[in-house]
Amino acid sequence: MPESVLVTGGAGFVGAALALRVKRAYPDATVTAFDNLRRRGSELNLPRLKAGGVRFVHGDIRSLEDLADVRPEPDLILECSAEPSVLAGYGASPEYLIRTNLNGCFHCLEIARRTKADFLFVSTSRVYPVALVNALECGETDTRFTLRAEQSIPGASQHGISEKFPLEGARSLYGMTKLAAELMVAEYGDAYGIRFVIDRCGLLTGPWQMAKSDQGVIALWVAAHCLGRGLKYIGFGGSGKQVRDFLHIDDFADLVLDQVANIKAYAGRAWNVGGGTANSVSLREATALCREVTGKAIEVAASGETRPSDLKLFITDHRAVSAVRAWRPKRDARQTFADIAAWIESQGAPLREILLG
């Protein structure tokens, strides 16, 4: 049972959700959310954190001194901080991306080394190489690209991409920082006896996600319908048939709580965490579901230009992590989309200004 929990990126979408859930699960523990509030909208989480009994510390993950000042010292660190955009660094310097995602993880590991804290690292499915993912054998229906049952690449099957999928090849600057951080987590674990868990998350979504075009596509899609803003199918002929699996943030929190409570069962490796084939959706299907959930229709344009790191189809094979203690996603697409829409409608002008910005 943790007594002091440090959640980095604790005012962000994932960090705030996990901080609040951990505090509810362990009400006697001190839970500290640490964040630099750089991402617009993260400030809206501060009242939630306070109401939930979570302490907030304003600091920057790029500064080891900022982290070292946090008291009480943690016995559990949930490393949720990140520059999350898969397009970060393209056309500009990747300095902030690397200092946040890579140096920031190093600083967290230094705190874990000093305090002997358990360590959970929120990584990403974007560690897998783009060219290999886009080389998967696919079919096509009226609404989506489909994954064929027979695949020639190891770690790929009709269930999606497993942890055995190859890691050789370019993946994006963002994906590089997360994979490099994973390696560092594993080395620290071996060198200093730190118990660690790495969760390679697919598309996490749900209420309180301040989505952008390059990060958080489902929340972006729902928000556009709620607010009457146009959208665009980008890449792969502009058909809107590209597919991602998704995971409701509450389903991810369920898993993290089980990992914290049973860390020996999960420790020492990376797990693919996502919604799987049952919770997958194409952009075209997302548009139809948004119309049903919100009762609103918006214009969706098309652009055939494929951007760096765009994926035709990615589905997480989560069978390995599900086999540990029978965790499964519980919230389907309709509930997930409806939860996001209800949150947007409930928040009023401050949120609308951010989402339309």
**Type of residue numbered 262:** N
Residue with tokens 């300095």: 95
CA distances from 72 to 3, 55, 64, 81, 276 (A): 9, 11, 16, 20, 38
pLDDT of residue 87: 86
- Measured distance CA(333)–CA(2) in Å, rounded: 33
Cβ–Cβ < 8 Å for 327, 254 = yes
- Our measurement of the distance from residue 133's CA atom to the centroid of its chain's CA atoms, rounded to an integer in Å, reads 18
CA geometry: angle 60, 61, 62, nearest 5 deg: 90
Give the DSSP H or E segment for 290.
helix 283-294
DSSP 134: T
Predicted confidence pLDDT, tens digits, the chain (357 residues): 999 999 999 999 999 999 999 999 999 999 999 999 999 899 999 999 999 999 999 999 999 999 999 999 999 999 999 999 898 888 889 999 999 999 999 999 999 999 999 999 999 999 999 999 999 999 999 999 999 999 999 999 999 999 999 999 999 999 999 999 999 999 999 999 999 999 999 999 999 999 876 778 999 999 999 999 999 999 999 999 999 999 999 999 999 999 999 999 999 999 999 999 999 999 999 999 999 999 999 999 999 888 888 999 999 999 999 999 999 999 999 999 999 999 999 998 889 988 887
How confident is the model at residue 118, as a pLDDT?
98
- pLDDT for the residue numbered 212: 79
pLDDT at 309: 87
Q: What does residue 27 show for φ and ψ, rounded to 5 degrees?
A: -60, -25
What distance in Å separates the CA atoms of residue 152 and residue 356, rounded to the nearest whole number? 43
In DSSP terms, 228 is beta-bridged to: none
Q: Which two tokens stand for residue 117?
A: 């804290």
Select from 92, 72, 81 the least CA-distant residue to 18: 81
CA distances from 112 to 22, 109, 325 (A): 18, 5, 26
Res 356: pLDDT = 84
> How many separate helices (H) and strands (E) can be counted in the chain?
14, 17
Q: For residue 113, how far is the Cα from the chain centroid? A: 25
Q: Cα–Cα distance between 247 and 11 in angstroms, integer?
A: 20
pTM of the predicted model as reported, rounded to 2 decimal places? 0.97
The token duo for 284 is: 């075209």
Classify 314 as helix, strand or coil: strand
* 57 sits in which H/E element: strand 55-58
Query: Which position has the token pair 């020639």?
Result: 152
Q: Which domains are seen in the chain, by residue range?
A: 1-128+171-201 (3.40.50.720)
Pairing relationship of beta strands 156-157 and 160-161 according to DSSP bridges = antiparallel
**Sign of the C-alpha dihedral, residues 4, 10, 11, 13?**
negative
Give which of 4, 44, 46 is closest to 23, Cα–Cα: 4
If we measure between CA atoms, which residue out of 60, 243, 269 comes closest to residue 160?
Answer: 243
